[in-house]
């Protein structure tokens, strides 16, 4: 019996499928471009991918840094004057301004020096060698002026620079750091109530020094 010739396989659907995949890829690339990067989420995704690929070298430097800094905070007597959080760029270490500096001064208190020594030792760890640090000085909205600092702009910037200089003196390369003075333009709490009256406790809490810690995944 004569064999019936095989019918050709219809692969025309692959064109439509390929177009759909390309469109989805373009969509996700566009979303990644316009969205704000979340480095903590990126670290988790990278770790999950390493697990799926069987990569045994699955370090999470951001989580390690957080654990180390939490230990530093627990080991000090001023833990209630410190806080450790995170944002889309990495970790955020906040330090109470009135605990670290006297009023109108940029000289670190002995308590501040003791804590910053611990922090510097952590930041100097080999696994954090590519991390970057942005130190911000914040004040309240209270008017301030002195012969050395004409306004809170100069004071907030000088306090940030003092912390940066101290970290540099402990061995952290200055190319990995920056100092920023923000006066009262980024308050954590409202300085005034709805009636325009000052809130003393909020003003005190707004006086702070913040270290933004940005990880590297190189």
CB crowding 65-86: b at 16 or more within 10 Å, else e: bbebbeebbeeeebeebbebee
Residue 83 included in any domain: yes
Q: Per residue in 96-106, pLDDT tens?
A: 999 999 999 99
Domain count, the chain: 1
177-181 vs 132-138, strand pairing mode: parallel
SS3 call for 41:
helix
The CATH number of whichever domain residue 100 belongs to comes to: 3.30.1330.60
Q: pTM for the full model?
A: 0.75
Give the whole-number percent of the chain exceeding pLDDT 90: 67
Q: Decide if 34 is inside a domain.
A: no
What is residue 52's predicted lDDT score, i.e. its pLDDT? 45
| Residue 38 belongs to a domain | no
Give tens-digit pLDDT for 131-186: 999 999 999 999 999 999 999 999 999 999 999 999 999 999 999 999 999 999 99
Query: pLDDT above 70 covers what percent of the chain?
Result: 74
Tell me whether residue 1 is in a domain. Answer: no
Span 173-201, mean pLDDT?
Answer: 96
pLDDT tops 50 at residue 12:
yes
């Amino acid at each position: 019996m004569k064999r019936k010739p095989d019918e050709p396989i219809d692969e025309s659907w692959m064109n439509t499928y390929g177009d759909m995949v390309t469109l989805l890829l373009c969509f996700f690339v566009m979303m990644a471009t316009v969205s704000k990067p979340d480095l903590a989420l990126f670290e988790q995704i990278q770790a999950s991918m390493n697990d799926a690929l069987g990569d045994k070298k699955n370090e999470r430097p951001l989580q390690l840094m957080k654990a180390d800094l939490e230990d530093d905070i627990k080991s000090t007597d001023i833990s209630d004057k410190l806080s450790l959080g995170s944002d889309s760029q990495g970790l955020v270490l906040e330090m109470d301004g009135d605990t670290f500096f006297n009023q109108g001064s940029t000289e670190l208190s002995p308590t501040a020096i003791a804590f910053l020594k611990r922090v510097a030792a952590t930041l100097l760890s080999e696994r954090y060698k590519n991390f970057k640090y942005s130190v911000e000085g914040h004040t309240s909205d209270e008017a301030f002026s002195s012969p050395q600092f004409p306004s809170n702009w100069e004071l907030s910037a000088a306090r940030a620079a003092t912390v940066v200089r101290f970290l540099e003196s402990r061995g952290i390369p200055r190319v990995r750091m920056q100092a920023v003075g923000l006066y009262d333009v980024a308050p954590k709490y409202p300085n005034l109530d709805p009636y325009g009256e000052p809130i003393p406790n909020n003003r005190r809490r707004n006086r702070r020094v913040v270290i933004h810690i940005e990880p590297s995944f190189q």
